[in-house]
A and B are shown apart, each in its own frame.
Chain A
Amino acid sequence: MKGLLRVPSWSRIKPVLVVSLILAFLLAIAYKTLYPLLFKAYVGESTAVLTYANSHELTETEFEQLARDLTEQARYRKASEVVEPDQHPFARQVKLEILMNTPSFVRETEPSHIKYFREAGIRRYEGPKTCLQCHATIQVEHADGTRSRVDTLEDIVNSVHFKFQTDAGGFSTYGYDGRKVNAIGDRRIPVGKIDRACGIPGSFTWTGWAALIEGRPESEDGEPGEIELRSEGCGQCHIGGNYYPATEKMMPIGDVPEQAKAGIDCLICHSSEYDMNQRYVIRDQVGLRWNQDRSLRAALTVGPVSNRNCLNCHQHNMGGDAYLHNVAAQSPGERHPRVMHKGAKRGNPFSPADDVHAAAGIQCTDCHVPEGHKIPRGRFGVDLVANDLPDKDVACEGCHSRAPHNNSKHKALLNGHIARIACETCHIKKLQENNVVLRDWVHPTWNAKEGLYEPTDVYRSGEPGKGFTYLWFNGNGTFLANALGNNPNGSADYNPLMQQIARIQDPEVIAAVRAKAIELKETYPDIDVEAYVRAATDPLSQLSPEMLERREAMIQDNLRAAMNEGESRIYPFKLFNAMMYEDMSNQGPFGAMILPFDYTTYYETGDTRASLVEALKDPILIRMYQTPFKLYMMDEFMAYFGVSGGWTTAYPLADGRLGNVEPHWMRQMGTLMVNHGIQREGRVCRDCHAPDGILDYPALGYEPERAAELADLDLIESVDWEATE
């Protein structure tokens, strides 16, 4: 007892202390030097100091010139809002100039950072380093009104916008095995857009981060023209400037290297003069990466984040690249212009021309209220996209209350619909015409004008029932983006995974698919048109009877509970399916592991198998088929995917030949939520309450009598007649 209590002598402590200090030091060294080397060896990616040609030092004179230009521009813009347009042009011009040179006006209009930079002697924008000089920490206001101060760089590096995945909880996504993704108590794996098993092969961000493609545009008379380099890849829309995505964040330990943090593009979100023409792929001694606008001009015009900033990237997934009012798409790159995707991902643009909120000047951040660099996407998420603030609402009710209709004589009745019908259901009547429903990646089409092979859009439509459909939705979704919900009557018949989204029955759509198949057969004689149409419009036909049986059982046993949860309403969902190569060793009743393409090979040669082989050689795909990755995350991933027995590590490439790989359509269509492109004028009664209305009541799980009642036109007519009285 006494011996225990005796204070050990210094001579005995000293060696222990020295050894532990040395050990700690060695560990720190190993973490700082050895770990990056190991990481590099493992994933085959390396980074370097990222430099940008447009980031250069300005002389005093150049700085002042730029400052004067920017102020003048800003003053002119503001003055034209003030001075009445209805007057003699010359008189207006004179007044404009008077106002523009009024001292108080000058003071209030000058972009704020001109003064800051001038005083701080900043004559060159060097990325985050420059911003952090003043903004090392920021104050974050939380939803509950509390405030906290966070490290800015830390905040952004851990946001979904930077790492686009998370191993935290908060998903409203359910695996086909019935478990909520990354639920409390389960082992959590990194999931999100970085590894989402999505219908678009490019989503393998490691193989599709940045590509330079040699386009060979033909002249109008079919003569092959000069080679034109084109940019493509996921990196165009993600704020990291590195040679690869933030893979480090997916590993159990390790942080993003400092060089990568220095490559964060602050200005694409924060500058009002950001030049999207600077967004293209460049090649340096290390590899390919995305250039960004690091001009002082962009840096001097930072200010509150506006719609333009968000839409630099997000119009791509809403209106699409081909959308007339996609501003960013008008600046495809001063060199190596970006490949524009002609089919739209959602086809619901957010712009003053097509969205009532955008027209009213509402800012993205008015609904998606950020907390620091964490931006909410709402509690409802049908897909596997990570959510920084999963508990924060982004909902129409937030502004419009539960009684939003005030104009109509039937306002109370319209409000009455809200219990069952989401606002979007009536206020998004159409999507853009180029909204892609069926895309065939396996049989690309030559685009002579651009000189590239492109995936073939077998069917596009923005029409209800064709390009999008209406489903019950309670906020939950499956691992492959299928909306979950159920008729409040608890119907056992409502089963979209076996019906609506697993089968296309509209004869017009089927006819269009057949026409496209016939067209494709000209290039690909092996295509059996009827088989092609069948697989595309009835993807369940690709499943064996046992698989089909298992699928039905899994829906009932694993997904019913998630469907019946909460309160469901009818929402519009954009439909999407794609034919891709799948690893058939990892197949389940809902689909098999999708394999990526190498963009360069794909776009240049149209040889999809060669492109697949090239992509499979990517180190991270090799790692994916090895045991550590299997144990670290793939087993869990496949369980969510509905594939029993874990991840099969049979690498589909042996001696340069493809193994158990087949082209298939996913076994059901993905359903993407559409919430933008809101129109003021909603649908009218007859659109739904008619025998041929847009809502298929029996399929939505209504009993026959109720369905008949809802589709009854007489009642509506009597109402309308009285209303016009």
Chain B
Amino acid sequence: MRLFQARSRISRHALPWVVACALSFASSLPASPLLDSDRPEYPPDTTELDSQARDCLRCHAMETLAYRDPETGEILDLAVDPRLLSHSVHGEMACTECHRRSYRRYPHPEQAGRETFSCVGCHEDDPEDATYQFLSIEEEYARSVHVAPGASEAEDFSCHSCHDPHVFRVSRVGKEIGQVVRDDNRVCMSCHRELTDPLDTTHAWLPKRDAHWASVRCLECHTPPSDRAERVSHQILPAEDSARDCVGCHSSDARLLNRLYHYRSQEDLARKGLIAKALFNEAYVVGMSRNPTLDALSLLVIGLTLLGLTAHGVGRYLTYRRRTNRQ
């Protein structure tokens, strides 16, 4: 049973990594990473943008355009990075194609208020659904912890809580994995700031928590295993359903295994001392020394040897009988 569990984890954890490299949706926060060069192109080239967008950007290009919402006390970011916008899939659209027309004036009229947007609303008949699977994303999303019945934030949550439509662009092949992890995790952490509280204990069980956070996407553990190779599920799991099985990741790759074992050994030694460590060695995890090739090869050799020995024995017996009969 345990074995089985580990196996399934391996496949599901190996996949997202591939996916992350191949197809990463640029999710985004104000301090978005630079696109290509080290130095930002400044002032940004906005010639590809809609002329109306350029007007809006006079203010909204300010990197720190934001205010504190008097109702929630949270800082609302209003900045749109012109460089990222012009490279995004929505870059050629006029702002008012999505936003209310009354936003064209400044100060913006109060009644403009909050707007609601839905990706599927526009993308429902999208011929590209086959590629991007908006409908199945919507299904997964509906089961996500953020909007599932009883979720406290469900009302305010939308696609845009995580995905900034001003930045969104498809597949950045070749992006460095570390950057993918940082970008993706920044999205989660922008709301889940409580996790950075030094007194927070939600991930205390996770050894070397910060190292994990720096090199593993939150999604790896907080989404269900998916058979889809091209993207990670949009069903974000609640804490209790999320992966907690170390070996799931730490046996698919010898290097990961090594780290885990080392960590647990240190823990063990510190807690129990040398002798107890030698006797009980709690650091050993199931399957950690497993090597399918070696196992198969060894079992084969052992099998053949047994076969050979049996044959030898039978041969001896037969010749013995022949000898005794002859006598």
Contact = CB atoms under 8 A, between A and B. Distances in A.
A706 B43 contact: yes
A413 B65 contact: yes
Interface string B8-46: 000000000000000000000000000000011011000
Given A401-B75, A402-B75, A723-B107, A419 B59 contact: no
Contact of A415 (B42, B43, B64): B64
Contacts of A405: 67
Contact of B66 (A402, A490, A703): A402
A118 interface: no
Contacts of B43: 489, 703, 706
Contact of B105 (A409, A415, A722): A722
B149 interface: no
B79 A416 contact: yes
A412 B58 CA distance: 13
A412 B42 contact: no
Nearest to B63: A419
Contacts of A715: 58
Contact of B68 (A403, A409, A719): A403
A295 B66 CA distance: 54
- Of B39, B68, B78, most buried by chain A (CB within 10 Å of CB) is B68
Contacts of A412: 59, 65-67, 78
Nearest to B39: A490
Interface residues of A, number: 25
A458 B317 CA distance: 122
A416 B42 contact: no
A712 to B, nearest CB: 11
B62 interface: yes
Given A145-B198, A489-B42, A489-B43, A416 B64 contact: yes
B4 interface: no
A617 interface: no
Contacts of B68: 401, 403, 406, 411
Contacts of A706: 43
Given A490-B39, A490-B42, A418 B64 contact: yes
Contacts, number: 60
B114 to A, nearest CB: 15
A147 to B, nearest CB: 13
Interface string B44-71: 0000000000000011001111111010
A723 B198 CA distance: 44
B77 to A, nearest CB: 9
A405 B70 CA distance: 11
A713 to B, nearest CB: 15
Contact of A719 (B64, B66, B79, B107): B107
A403 B67 contact: yes
A141 to B, nearest CB: 13
B75 A419 contact: no
Given A401-B68, A489-B43, A719 B63 contact: no
Interface string B195-219: 0001000000000000000000000
Contact of B107 (A410, A488, A489): A410
A550 interface: no
Contacts of A418: 64
B79 A722 contact: no
Contact of A488 (B40, B70, B105): B40
Interface string A487-499: 0111000000000
B21 to A, nearest CB: 30
A417 interface: yes
Nearest to B198: A145
A488 B41 CA distance: 9
Given A416-B79, A722-B105, A723-B107, A403 B63 contact: no
A412 B39 CA distance: 27
A406 B70 contact: yes
B198 A719 contact: no
A82 to B, nearest CB: 33
**Which of A405, A415, A417, A723: most chain B Cβ within 10 A?**
A415
Contacts of B78: 412, 416
A409 B63 contact: no
A698 to B, nearest CB: 15
Contact of B62 (A145, A409, A416): A416
Nearest to B79: A416
B106 interface: yes
Interface of A: 145, 401-403, 405-406, 409-413, 415-419, 488-490, 703, 706, 715, 719, 722-723
7 contacts: A403-B66, A403-B67, A412-B66, A412-B78, A413-B65, A416-B64, A490-B39
Interface of B: 39-40, 42-43, 58-59, 62-68, 70, 75, 78-79, 105-107, 198
Cβ-closest 4 pairs across A and B: A416-B62, A416-B65, A419-B63, A418-B64
Given A402-B75, A413-B59, A489-B42, 16 more contacts: A145-B198, A403-B64, A403-B67, A410-B107, A412-B65, A412-B66, A415-B65, A415-B67, A416-B59, A416-B62, A416-B65, A416-B66, A417-B64, A488-B42, A719-B107, A722-B106
